[in-house]
C-alpha cells in the first residue's frame, strides 16, 4: 500500500530556524523520506546537514547523484546544484537556475509530483519572493498535500504569504507543529493517482528534464508556452509564458525559469546595474575630455582647450543626472504589494 511518504520541503531567508523546529519533532522511526531545498549562495558551503542532524533524531546528508532513496533519512540540496527526485533515486544536477536560484524549490517539488504524485507532501517555510509556490501548486494538482508555515510564525513571511495566495493549503501550522503532523500523515494511504490532461503532463515532464539536463530547446519548451517580448536576464534568450492556475511563469529556450515576481526582481536589479555602468562611462568620458583639454592647454591652444573643458562640464552634468537616477531606482517584486497591505 502506497503512503504519503515523500516529504519535500522548501525554505529561503529565515528558514534554518523553521527547519530545526520541524526536524526535531520527527520520530526516530520515521517511515518517510525528507528532501530539503534551502536557498544558499553558490559560493557558500552548506552546513545544513550537520545542523539538522544535531537538531533532530534523523540523519541529514548531502546526497550523491543517483543515490538510492531510503526511509528515515533527510536529503539536503548542495549549494549550486538542484536536488531532484527520480524513481527510487535522488538526482543532483546542475541544470538552469529557476527563479534566480540553484538549488530551486520549484524544481524539487515538480520532480517529486511528476514521479510520486499523491504520495508527496510539500511544505513551504520562511522565505522571500515565491520560489516554491509553482511547485506546491503542481503537487496539489497531482493529488499531494500542501502544508504552509503560518506567516505569523515565520521570520520572513513573504514566501508563506505568496503560497497561501496562489495555492489552497491542506494545513497552515507553526513550524514546531509540522513535524508531528507529518508523522501522522506518513502513515496515511495515498489516494489514487489523478488523471491529468496530456498537455499538462507533457509540460511537467519537459520542465523536470530541463532541470536535470538543461536541454530546454531540445525539449521543445518554445512550443509549450506563449512567446513574449521579454528576454531572459540571465542569457538574453527569448522567454515564453507558462500559465498554472493564477500563477504566471516564464522560461527561456536555454532553460532559465522565472515567476513574474522573480523576473521583475531580476530586471529591476539589471536596471540599477546598467545605471551604474552608464555613470562610470560618463565619468570616464569627463576625465578623458579634461585630459585632452589639459594637453591642448600645454600646447598653447587655449581655444581647443576651452572647447574640451566645456564638453567635460556637459558630461559632468549628465553624469550627475544618472547619479541621481541610481539612488531613485528601486528593486521591485510582487512582495512590494504584500508590504503595502
Query: Residue 21 catalytic?
Result: no
Residue ranges of the domains in the chain?
6-185, 209-261, 268-339
- pLDDT category at 341 given cuts 50, 70, 90 is very low
* Model confidence at 238: pLDDT above 90: no
Contact of 257 with 207, CB cutoff 8 Å: yes
Q: Under CATH, what is the fold of the domain 6-185? A: Rossmann fold (3.40.50)
Q: What is the pLDDT of residues 163-172, one digit of tens each?
A: 999 999 999 9
Please tell me the predicted confidence (pLDDT) of residue 340: 43
What cell was used for 115?
A: 514521479
Closest among 51, 101, 99 to 79, alpha carbons compared: 101
* Model confidence at 241: pLDDT above 70: yes
User: 112: buried, middle or exposed (CB in 10 Å: 19+, 13-18, 0-12)?
Assistant: buried
Catalytic residue among 5, 21, 106, 131: 131
What is the reported pTM? 0.84
Q: Is the dihedral of CA 22, 28, 32, 35 positive or negative?
A: positive
Between the alpha carbon of residue 108 and those of residues 76, 85, 317, 331, 334, the distances in Å are 11, 7, 50, 27, 23
Catalytic residue among 5, 33, 39, 261: 39
The C-alpha R_g of the chain, in whole angstroms, comes to 25
Calculate ∠ Cα 257-140-174, nearest 5°: 95
Helix (H, G, I), strand (E, B) or coil at 211: helix
Average pLDDT over residues 293-303: 93
Average pLDDT over residues 110-127: 97
Please tell me the predicted confidence (pLDDT) of residue 338: 47
Range in 13-17, 118-122, 298-302, 337-341 the model is least confident about: 337-341
Query: Residue 80 catalytic?
Result: no
Contact of 136 with 115, CB cutoff 8 Å: no
Query: Residue 323 catalytic?
Result: no
Catalytic residue among 12, 78, 104, 262: 12
Amino acid at each position: 500500500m502506497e503512503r504519503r511518504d515523500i516529504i519535500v520541503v522548501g525554505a529561503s531567508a529565515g528558514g534554518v530556524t523553521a527547519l530545526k523546529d520541524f526536524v526535531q519533532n520527527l520520530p526516530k522511526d520515521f517511515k518517510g523520506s525528507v528532501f530539503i531545498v534551502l536557498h544558499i549562495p553558490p559560493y557558500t558551503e552548506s552546513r545544513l546537514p550537520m545542523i539538522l542532524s544535531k537538531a533532530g533524531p534523523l540523519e541529514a546528508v548531502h546526497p550523491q547523484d543517483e543515490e538510492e532513496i531510503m526511509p528515515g533519512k533527510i536529503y539536503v540540496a548542495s549549494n549550486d546544484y538542484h536536488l531532484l527526485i527520480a524513481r527510487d533515486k535522488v538526482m543532483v544536477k546542475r541544470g538552469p537556475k529557476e527563479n534566480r536560484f540553484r538549488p530551486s524549490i520549484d524544481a524539487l517539488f515538480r520532480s517529486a509530483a511528476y514521479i510520486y504524485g499523491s504520495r508527496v507532501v510539500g511544505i513551504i517555510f520562511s522565505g522571500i519572493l515565491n520560489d516554491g509556490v509553482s511547485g506546491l501548486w503542481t503537487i496539489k494538482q497531482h493529488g499531494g498535500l500542501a502544508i504552509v508555515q503560518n506567516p505569523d510564525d515565520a521570520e520572513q513571511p513573504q514566501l508563506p504569504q505568496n503560497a497561501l495566495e496562489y495555492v489552497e493549503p491542506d494545513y497552515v501550522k507553526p513550524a514546531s507543529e509540522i513535524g508531528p503532523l507529518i508523522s501522522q500523515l506518513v502513515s496515511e494511504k495515498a489516494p489514487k493517482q489523478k488523471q491529468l490532461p496530456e498537455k499538462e503532463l507533457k509540460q511537467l515532464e519537459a520542465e523536470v528534464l530541463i532541470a536535470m539536463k538543461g536541454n530546454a530547446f531540445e525539449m521543445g519548451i518554445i512550443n509549450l508556452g506563449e512567446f513574449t517580448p521579454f528576454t531572459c536576464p540571465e542569457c538574453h534568450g527569448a522567454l515564453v509564458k507558462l500559465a498554472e492556475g493564477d500563477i504566471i511563469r516564464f522560461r527561456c529556450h536555454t532553460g532559465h525559469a522565472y515567476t513574474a515576481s522573480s523576473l521583475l526582481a531580476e530586471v529591476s536589479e539589471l536596471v540599477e546595474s546598467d545605471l551604474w555602468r552608464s555613470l562610470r562611462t560618463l565619468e570616464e568620458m569627463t576625465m578623458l575630455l579634461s585630459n585632452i583639454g589639459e594637453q591642448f592647454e600645454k600646447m598653447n591652444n587655449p581655444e581647443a582647450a576651452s572647447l574640451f573643458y566645456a564638453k567635460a562640464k556637459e558630461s559632468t552634468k549628465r553624469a550627475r543626472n544618472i547619479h541621481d537616477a541610481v539612488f531613485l531606482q528601486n528593486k521591485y517584486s510582487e512582495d512590494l504589494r504584500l508590504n503595502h497591505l
